[in-house]
Amino acid sequence: MTTPTSAADRRRECITWAVAEAPHPRERESGDRYVFQPCAHGVLIAAVDGMGHGAEAAAAAKTATATLEAHADESPIALLLRCHEELKGTRGAVITTAFIDLDDHTLTWLGVGNVEAMLFHGGHHAIAKPERALLRNGILGYRLPSIRAEVLPLKPLDTLVIVTDGIEPDFGDGLIVRDDLQAAANHILARHHNGADDALVIVARYQGGECERPKA
């Protein structure tokens, strides 16, 4: 007997994702962390880079990711404000978040610091230049800039890539993300890790499917 698939499970299948990561060459623990947290209306995806590297950077990143996961259903701006408060007294962190709304078929993203995010339209058939998240200079826990979220429409096979600053900034030049997202994340890490910091790559694809069906 086959167990029925719940609506929540079907909605989660609208997004496939993969992560590749590596610590600083002289550290055992990475100060870069990620979040993939389903909630009521979609999925929160985030990359967190604790300042510096080593144990203190990892502790700051863990504080931020725990905060993001516990409050993933809050608005993106409210989430970063909450992280700013929780990170006071730590090394601080830079964070980029991307919320995929499975009801509205939109991506809402914003970032403080140098965690790059790019949205490639149309999967591996894309020929247009990707869109880039607007990042604000600052460090959560220390210096909070004025922040503003951007909302983008999503179509099936749109692909989100988020990287921390251990990845060289030209990682997106000529990038084509095919069906194997883990291979894509591994490729970016292997080819573009600068070796001077922790590095993290998130690749997430909006598949559509159940999300594209009109509501009854």
* Residue extents of the structural domains in the chain: 15-210
d(CA 5, CA 215): 18
d(CA 71, CA 214): 28
What is the predicted pLDDT for the residue at 1?
Answer: 42
Identify the CA nearest to 174 among candidates 184, 165, 183: 184
The helix/strand/coil state of 94 is strand
Q: Looking only at Cα atoms, what is the longest distance across the chain?
A: 56
What is the predicted pLDDT for the residue at 179?
Answer: 85
CA distances to 50, 191, 199 from 27, rounded to whole Å, are 14, 20, 12
What is the predicted pLDDT for the residue at 27?
Answer: 86
Please give the CATH topology (third level) of the domain spanning 15-210. Answer: Phosphatase 2c; domain 1 (3.60.40)
What is the predicted pLDDT for the residue at 213?
Answer: 47
Rounded to a whole number, what is the distance in angstroms from the first to the last CA of the chain? 28
What is the predicted pLDDT for the residue at 216?
Answer: 41
Q: How would you write the pLDDT of the chain (216 residues) with one tens digit per residue?
A: 444 445 455 556 789 999 999 999 888 899 999 999 999 889 999 999 999 989 999 999 999 999 999 999 999 999 999 999 999 999 999 999 999 999 999 999 999 999 999 999 876 555 568 899 999 999 999 999 999 999 999 999 999 999 999 999 999 888 888 889 999 999 999 999 998 899 999 999 999 855 554 444
DSSP readout, 102-117?
Answer: TTTTEEEEEEESS-EE
What is the predicted pLDDT for the residue at 176?
Answer: 82
Interhelix angle for 76-86 vs 55-70, to 10°? 140
Q: Which residue bears the tokens 């900034």?
A: 169
